[in-house]
Structure 1
């Protein structure tokens, strides 16, 4: 399976995206830089994404720093056996405590999403979604950031929904279903490049960058 390995891979994919959908071209030119988003995979990578769900970026970073300090080795067995009290001290909610211990147990039992890559992203996604606490957004972000998947659109991402509406000239933020349908019809097989572009558009919208708003 082809993966994004470095920035040059994303840059080439953005060129192809512009050829697929000319609406993207001015934004690709305006919204530079469009950096490749990469994170380590494995248990630590998945848990970092999970703990970042439904909280601000600042809160997610603070929670992760406390969690990583408490469990620097990210050892699956230790996390699976961690007490609720210790995990609560890392500012984890009860649902996330349950998810962390269940996911850690799966890894301790041999779950390896990276090892499933040869079977395709759809297989990896299905196996991730079978884990307690892992929904479509978490699975898609893992495929994109940790595995470098080249045709992934996390359609449940609020920032992407806002940016996509701006790109196509819609009056309101797109729904997850609308973004999924748009990505499938207009950007496949370069949906990962489109996601990176949309994050750059959202960044510049928030900053009030000239030419983007």
Structure 2
């Protein structure tokens, strides 16, 4: 077992990050202890890393514990929690825009990634066109049937395992036939190496989008969601997202949802941090 302390300059609202992570019933989060246990696959090993917040909003500090793979685990946790992103620079950027008060209200909100790119893509397919409660229930059913538990933490099943499933098996969990086909199809691509998540990390947004949009079941919303929450890309603004449309309507006191032309105009000054505008707008209606 190793322990390491990570500290950097704020702001970074870890308590807010925890409250968002706690929305997913598959996450192991203890709000009072300011703790989250993160399932990591490092060098083909499954490990559980414990992240405890020991600092403050302005002076973030974390105690990290895990069994093995210290360097790679720390590197991956830094990616997931975006510890290397200077949120103060993003905050300052928005002080000259119409979103100034929104960024004051949600000061220090980090963009926390999904714990694993494959599970992120599968999760967004499962979440398509169903209400949030059912989406979480369906995802939980899927992971608890085919995934693996370690130290009270759930790991999504591997691409190899999902690729072996049948549509009928997933239908028994209440998947639609089409959704079951999409999930198995993505797993087959990932298991065969045609979908290489590690390589995607160094590709530009447009190239990743081009690769993903060819896959059955993957539309623009899923691509934008993946770029933002699996790869941590800072400049995404899903204009077709109903939540963002509703948040803009509320924030700007509009009579109806904004048109695409209005949204294009709004978002111009928010470049190159559109993902943070998206995140803070979602926060405003959560």
- Shorter-chain TM-score tier: 0.7 to 0.9
Q: 2:206 aligns with which of 118, 122, 140?
A: 122
The one of the two structures with greater contact order (alpha-carbon pairs below 8 A, sep at least 6) is: 1
Q: 1:87 aligns with which of 147, 167, 170?
A: 170
Tell me how far 1:11 sits from its aligned partner.
Answer: 4.8
C-alpha offsets along residues 18-45 of structure 1, whole Å, 9 cap, x if unaligned?
33x1x11112223467453421232212
The 3 A distance-change label for structure 1 pair 9 and 31 is same
1:40 aligned to 2:115?
Answer: yes
The 3 A distance-change label for structure 1 pair 180 and 128 is farther
1:137 aligned to 2:212?
Answer: no
Aligned to 2:182: 99
Q: Distance in 1 between matches of 2:266 and 2:217?
A: 25
Maintained 8 Å contact 2:94/2:103: no
Maintained 8 Å contact 2:221/2:238: yes
The 3 A distance-change label for structure 1 pair 179 and 123 is farther
Tell me how far 1:8 sits from its aligned partner.
Answer: 5.7
Aligned to 2:139: 64
Please tell me the root mean square deviation across aligned C-alpha atoms, in Å.
2.3
Higher normalized strand content (fraction of residues): 2
The 3 A distance-change label for structure 1 pair 174 and 104 is same
Aligned to 1:12: 89
Structure 1 length-normalised TM:
0.83
C-alpha offsets along residues 139-184 of structure 1, whole Å, 9 cap, x if unaligned?
1111111111110112221111111122333221124x34652455
Structure 2 length-normalised TM:
0.63
Higher normalized helix content (fraction of residues): 1
Of the two, which has the highest radius of gyration? 2
Counterpart secondary structure, 1:119: coil
Aligned to 2:129: 54
Count, aligned residues? 198
C-alpha offsets along residues 122-144 of structure 1, whole Å, 9 cap, x if unaligned?
11111111111011111111111
Q: Distance in 1 between matches of 2:262 and 2:176?
A: 30
Aligned to 2:269: 186
